[in-house]
Structure 1
Amino acid sequence: MGRVHSMFKKGFNVKFGDSLIYITSNKYPLSALGVNITEEKLRKILSSIKISDVVTKKEEKLLFYTINEIIDIDYKFIERIDLSFPKVKCKITDIKKSELYNALASIDFEEIIGIELDKNTLKYVDLLVNSDKKDLDTNKLIINFFVGRGKGLTPSGDDILIGFTAALIIFEKYKEWIFSLKQEVTTGKTTIISSSYLSSLLEGYVSEDFIELIKSLDYKKSILIEEAIEKVKAFGHTSGCDTLFGFILGLKFLINNLKN
């Protein structure tokens, strides 16, 4: 048994234990936590449910117990989409000359992210990019600075950690950093939505748009790269921009540590 956790214009979250399922229309990109349904079915459910309504899973159906009726989503025949990290041909030695890296490097992130880059924050940004990720104590210090920092359902600091860590996972590097995140990121330190996205990331899954961004490390056509960046930017109020900022910090870290 679960319950409706949160509702938005474009979809809603259902909470089962410590896990979330984000349900939205099939005209939007698939979330790492997501199920996409028809726009008509989504509107019907959103107009009927309220926060804390009971939801159950029975015989490959989600059943929503609203005040007026029981509405179901039959997911037996829903197409499964692979949201695991894609393999890229790009090597760490190729990152600096990739079209994606240079496109991201040209963005003035200070103007569009949801966290102020003051003197103290810049100190931790520098640590994120330059510290030894085998140093678990420093990892803990960095993670606990960023986790839960900022406003919103997914605080900016968490999105920066997600983007940074995604870059490392692509190239299968720095398992000590992954270990530190698993130890330090809990729902007591940030929102359950943010914690759920971080958990999915650490299990190797990201949203549909972010997969396209990762693939664009191999792209040569600027227009395709710009499209991939703009799609990620559009996520949330500043969430997409925060994630992109973390991603380029991760790429910079990898470039700086080529010798390792």
Structure 2
Amino acid sequence: MLKQVYYGEEYHQCIPLLLKKHAKGTVHSTFQNGFNIKMGDSIIFIGNKNNGQIPFGIHISDEDACFVLKQMMGHAPVYWEEESQRLHFPLSSIELSLVGGSEYSNRLVHKTTKINHLENNLVCLLETLLNNDNQSGLDVNVEHLIEAYAGVAPAENIEKQLLQLMDAVFSRESTTIKFSLEFFLGRGKGLTPSGDDLLIGLLSVDAIADFFSADFRRELKSILLNNIITTDVSREFLLYALRNEYSSLVKEAAEAAFFSHSIEFESKLFKLLSTGHSSGFDTAFGMFIGLLSLRRKISI
């Protein structure tokens, strides 16, 4: 069969090492913007950048993504050839080369920030969430949550869990942390359930501010590695987040929340909110929960 070679224009810097360790795999899942392959226990996304640079991605052009997607079949074999730097798909007529592609990383790093940026952008984020047409996949009433947080209204159902999560990020009690995390992990529909998207946003705030207890991150990693509690794709996003690696849209919004004026932050926020059915909203809402937790710690 005559093979057509396509080229990865950009790829996350960890991809070559991952493929060297796990050279055989299968097509995991396909969707509008690309497809995932599973190599060993790891997921690699191959597709366009409509949702920004993915932390475990190989990005190809929109045009190439359309042609490649037509040839992908679920569970079809994939293997990596180190010498040629190509991914082979034996049941199709395509190969994917990393030769000439550029590496990227969207790592968030701990930095100090000005309190006025935090206060102003927390208000900006709240107003954006309240005025956005999208809704959380967790069915949260943001306005009522704020009332419950302020103690002027009783917390209901999901609100109680969110308030407990805000306590859990500071906790050193394994049982408390585990109870809260297991409520949100895998909660919701889709390849990245809403509860996981929320945790991604939450972790992005801590990546910069570094205020969670080490026990919180340790417990989350343990659950992800030892339990089938969410989707493979969501698990991959969360494991990268625990290494402070995010999609470019999450990274840009999180950094803007801390270091930019509200107008620029709002611009980055709208880009994030445009992703997925509720994924962008849930991630931004997770950032809000993280910033609210940080504000409370600073006030104490």
- Does TM-score exceed 0.5, indicating one fold? yes
Q: Within 2, Cα distance between the matches of 1:193 and 1:31?
A: 11
Question: Aligned in 2, Cα 1:26/1:163: closer, same or farther, shift over 3 Å?
Answer: closer
| Aligned-residue offset at 1:133 | 2.2
Per-residue CA deviation, residues 51-108 of structure 1 (Å, 9 max, x unaligned), is 11111111221112234x2x111113211112111454525x445424x322112122
- Give the residue type in structure 1 aligned to 2:192: T
Q: Distance in 1 between matches of 2:259 and 2:235?
A: 30
Q: Kindly tell me: are residues 26 and 149 of structure 1, through their superposed partners in 2, closer, same or farther at Cα, counting changes over 3 Å?
A: closer
- Contact between 1:53 and 1:66, CA under 8 Å: does it hold in 2? yes
Indicate the residue corresponding to 2:158 in structure 1: 121
Deviation at residue 238 of structure 1 after TM alignment: 0.4
Q: Specify the code of the residue in structure 2 equivalent to 1:9.
A: Q
TM-score normalized by the length of structure 1: 0.90
Give the unaligned 5+ runs of structure 2: 1-23, 142-155
Following superposition of structure 1 onto structure 2, how do residues 15-30 of structure 1 map, counting pairs within 5 Å? 15-26=38-49, 29-30=52-53
**Residue 185 of structure 1 corresponds to which residue in structure 2?**
224
1:61 maps onto 2:86 in alignment: yes
Rg larger for:
2
**Equivalences, count:** 255
Which residue of the other structure, out of 82, 104, 119, is the alignment partner of 2:125? Answer: 104
Distance in 1, Cα, partners of 2:243 & 2:167: 25
Tell me how far 1:160 sits from its aligned partner: 1.1
Q: Which amino acid aligns with 1:65?
A: P
8 Å CA contact 1:95–1:255 kept in 2: the answer is: no
Distance 1:27 1:235, change over 3 A: closer
User: Where do 5+ consecutive residues of structure 1 fail to align?
Assistant: none
Which of the residues 204, 207, 212 maps onto 1:166? 204
Which letter does structure 1 place at the counterpart of 2:215?
A: E
Measured against aligned partners, the alpha-carbon deviations of 1:100-136 in whole angstroms (never above 9, x if no partner) come to 3221121227961101238221111111123442222
Change (3 A) 1:133 1:259: farther
Instruction: For 1:1-260, list aligned pairs within 5 A.
Output: 1-26=24-49, 29-59=52-82, 60-67=85-92, 69=93, 71-86=94-109, 88-91=111-114, 93-94=115-116, 96-98=118-120, 100-106=121-127, 107-108=129-130, 112-117=135-140, 119-131=156-168, 132-173=170-211, 174-186=213-225, 188-216=228-256, 217-220=258-261, 222=263, 224-258=264-298
Equivalent pair of 1:89/1:218 in contact (CA under 8 Å): no
Deviation track 1:124-182 (CA, whole Å, cap 9, x = no partner) reads: 11111234422222111100111111111111111111111221121122212111111
Partner Cα distance (2:53, 2:91) in 1: 25
Task: Give the C-alpha shift of residue 210 in structure 1.
Answer: 1.0
1:8: how far off? 0.8
Shift of 1:43: 1.9
What secondary structure is seen at the aligned counterpart in 2 of 1:42? helix
Structure 2 CA distance for partners of 1:232 and 1:111, relative to 1, 3 Å:
closer
Q: What CA RMSD, in Å, does the superposition of the two structures yield over aligned residues?
A: 2.1
CA displacement at 1:235 relative to structure 2: 1.6
Q: 1:187-236 deviations in whole A, cap 9, x for unaligned?
A: 611100110100010112000111111221211251x2222111111221
Change (3 A) 1:240 1:27: closer
Structure 2 contact 51–275 (Cα < 8 Å) conserved: no
Fraction of identical pairs, as percent: 28
Contact map agreement 2:110 2:207 (CA 8 A) in 1: no
Q: Contact between 1:148 and 1:155, CA under 8 Å: does it hold in 2? A: yes
Q: Is the 8 A contact 1:85 1:211 kept in 2?
A: yes
